[in-house]
Amino acid sequence: MIADRPPETAGERVAVTPAAADLIRRLRERHGPLMFHQSGGCCDGSSPMCFPAGEFRTGDSDVLLGDLAIDELPETVPVWMSASQFQLWRHTHLTIDVVPGRGAGFSLEAPEGVRFLIRSRLL
C-alpha cells in the first residue's frame, strides 16, 4: 500500500497503543475487517472513527496515513484522513489510544463504553 501514500509519508505516521490493539482485535472478531477515518470539526471531531472496512467510502479527497499491522489479525487496518486535514496534521505522528467514554458518531467501539482517542507527537 506504500505506493498509495504521498511520498513524504513513507515514514511511519500512525501507530496504536497495546490497549487500542486489544480493542481492535475484539472489534475485528465481531465486525470483520476494519478501517479508521480521522474526523475533524465539532463535538467528537478529532476522534479516529472505526468502521467495518468499506463502510466509509474514501476517495481522492482522502489520504491513507498507514496500514496498522495488529498482531493476530489476518489483514492490516487502514487509517485515512481527508487530504485537506492532512495538510494541517502532516507534521505530527498519531497514536491511536483508547479511553473510557462514550463517543457519538458511528464508530464501532462506543457501545463498549470506550472511545478511540488520538495522541500526537511532532515528527
Nearer to another protein, 66 or 97 (CB): 97
Cα 30 to Cα 3: distance, rounded to the nearest angstrom: 30
* Nearest-approach distance from CB 44 to another protein, in angstroms: 5
* Nearest-approach distance from CB 111 to another protein, in angstroms: 5
Residues that bind another protein (CB under 8 A): 37-47, 49, 51, 55-57, 82, 84-85, 88-89, 92, 99-108, 110-111, 113, 115, 117-122
Nearer to another protein, 22 or 44 (CB): 44
* Nearest-approach distance from CB 26 to another protein, in angstroms: 14
Query: CA-CA distances (angstroms) from residue 78 to 43, 64, 92, 119?
Result: 24, 7, 18, 17
Cα 108 to Cα 88: distance, rounded to the nearest angstrom: 26
Nearer to another protein, 24 or 89 (CB): 89
* Nearest-approach distance from CB 113 to another protein, in angstroms: 8
What does residue 77 show for φ and ψ, rounded to 5 degrees? -115, 110
Grid coordinates of 36: 479508521
The residue type found at 104 is: A
